[in-house]
Structure 1
Amino acid sequence: MKTVLVPLADGCEELEAVAITDILTRAGATLITAGLHTGPIKASRGLTMVPDTTLAQVQDDLFDLIVLPGGLPGAIHLAEDPILHAMLQSQDLHNRTLAAICAAPQALAVAGLLTNRTLTCYPGALDAFDCQWTNTGGAVEVDRNLITGRGPGVAVDFALELVDQLYGPEKRAQVADELAI
């Protein structure tokens, strides 16, 4: 069984967080949501979400995938978290899969993981960051162990690509069929 970590920060994009967690759970992943602090988080549109644990409590665990939902100011909070930086750097060092959607690639930029990478993100989300990357502007982009998505409008396609990368195209097709896509 594949293990997936979804860090949740106040101000995250609900649509992205829910699509990611729902679709990966449907695929059979062991999914852990972790807040940057204890207790519930308030998402960008006011939805209250209750993470399973905190990032500090799982910082030494290994995951097949760490996936970051975007949204503002959620992506900024993720980008400012030193525990998450270390986890992302370790994940990349061990060639394990990283994923981020919308503005969440900001956390990857701050962790120094976007040099010479091809990705997509919410328009303008990385303009203030000094990293050498190629923005395809596409809906979803895969570059080695990095999967990125443009924004909330592609959250389901992004999550299905995560399924594809973890389990293969047959599982992706099965989950997509269950969703009537």
Structure 2
Amino acid sequence: MEPRDVLVVLFDGLQSLDLTGPVEVFDGANHGAPGAYRIRTASLDGGPVRTSSGLTLTPDLALTDTAPPHTLLVPGGEGTGHPDPRLIDWLRTHAPRARRKVSVCSGALLLAEAGLLDGRRATTHWMLCDTLAERFPAVRVEPEPIYVRDGDLATSAGVTAGIDLALALVEEDLGRDLALTIARHLVVFLRRPGNQTQFSAQLAAQTAQRRPLRDVQQWITDNPAADLSVDALAARALLSPRHFARAFREETGMTPGRYVDRVRLEAARRCLEDTTDGIGQVARRCGYGTPEAMRRAFLRVLGASPAEYRRRFQPASPPVPTP
């Protein structure tokens, strides 16, 4: 089997975890399938780069000396804010020759700057999605998924999402069993569905400014199985249902119903991850009432049933490392 060349672009100010997370996944694949990936790093001139945390990385070669890779990986970091124009020129000219273009976090900004995301679906870290959409209106930005696949292009959110995406690529290349082995070895979940939201309901919603609405948000989180209808929540806030619904949306960016849906889903996920309680018990505890109602919610948002979600998450004995 010919190795798949993975070329990682290095530049000053990159975030080291955006690089090391995916690289550890591809390297892990080589333990189960020797020679599956040939991983190399390259900077503009072949010289060392300094990461945003102060680490110095020495690349294998210069970008000008590289051949078109199978997978081109562009990490993110502070350095994407003011990139070297030569790097953008190199990406514009050479990145299209790669069979797969992959970005982690704000690395999507570099691909967009080079015109590689025009007309394509893409994501980045949730804090930068508005920036990506405003600076590059030709990009179809999807702010919620942890990663987005669009043909030969794959973009991901923050650090851990890069690991999720790399696991998905290994599964595509070499099969689920090997990807699962890598995930177990790294003690991560194989694999969070790409359409899983990047952040919790508390983070996704801007925290309400008014104390009564903040108190209601906390009540929802603490009591997912309670009556969380608009009427009940409005009564807790001492507002009319109409006034409450309007104020809640203005201050949090989502309707009360959508917020409740997210909180309940997150509560159910935590129960499935952290306990051995039965599906029916989890459904009742988290406000779904019936297992079928919870199942529909999981399929709609995560693309997996509660039982499948639990099977994917449950840890197993780690494999014996290959000498």
TM-score, normalising length: structure 1: 0.86
User: In the TM superposition, what is the alpha-carbon distance from 1:166 to its structure 2 partner?
Assistant: 3.2
Residues 55 and 84, structure 1, Cα contact 8 Å, conserved in 2: no
Write out per-residue CA displacement over residues 112-165 of structure 1, whole angstroms, 9 at most, x where no aligned residue: 221222221023241322423131421112111111111124232232223223
Contact 2:16 2:53 in 1 (8 A): yes
Cα deviation, residue 16, structure 1: 0.8
Among all aligned residue pairs of Structure 1 and Structure 2, give the percentage whose two residues are the same amino acid: 27
Q: 1:109 matched to which residue of 2?
A: 112
In structure 2, C-alpha distance between the alignment counterparts of 1:56 and 1:68, rounded to whole Å: 16
Aligned match of 2:75: 69
Matched with 2:55 is: 47
Task: Indicate the residue corresponding to 1:170 in structure 2.
Answer: 177
SS class of match (1:12)? coil
Greater Rg, structure 1 or structure 2? 2
Equivalence for 1:180: 187
Shift of 1:173: 1.2
**8 Å Cα contact 1:79-1:108 kept in structure 2:** no
Cα distance in 2 for residues equivalent to 1:112 and 1:171: 34
1:48-69 C-alpha deviation (Å, 9 max, x unpaired): 11111110111xx121100111
Which of residues 104, 116, 121 in structure 2 aligns to 1:118?
121
**Number of residue equivalences:** 175
Q: Find the aligned partners of 2:155 and 2:85 in 1 and give their Cα distance.
A: 16
**Do the aligned partners of residues 88 and 76 (structure 1) sit closer, same or farther apart at CA in structure 2, a change above 3 Å counting?**
farther
* TM superposition shift of 1:104: 0.8
Question: Amino acid of the residue matched to residue 171 of structure 1?
Answer: L
Output the CA distance in 1 between the equivalents of 2:178 and 2:40: 20
The equivalent residue for 2:167 is 160
Superposed, 1:8-157 pairs within 5 Å as 8-28=10-30, 29-58=37-66, 61-74=67-80, 76-77=82-83, 81=87, 82-91=89-98, 96-122=99-125, 123-124=127-128, 125-126=131-132, 127-157=134-164
Return the offset for 1:33.
0.4
CA offsets per residue over residues 16-47 of structure 1, 9 Å max, x none?
11112221111121001001223211001111
Mean CA deviation greater in 149-158 or 1-10 = 149-158
Indicate if the aligned counterparts of 1:13 and 1:72 stay in contact, CA closer than 8 A.
Answer: yes
Query: More relative contact order in 1 or in 2 (CA 8 Å, sep 6+)?
Result: 1
Structure 1 153/175 Cα, relative in aligned 2: closer, same or farther at 3 Å?
A: closer
Residue-by-residue CA offset, 1:57-86 (whole Å, 9 max, x unaligned): 11xx12110011111114642675112221
CA distance in 1, matches of 2:101, 2:94: 10
Return the structure number with greater helix share. 2
Distance 2:85 2:145 in 1: 23
The AA in structure 2 aligned to 1:116 is: G
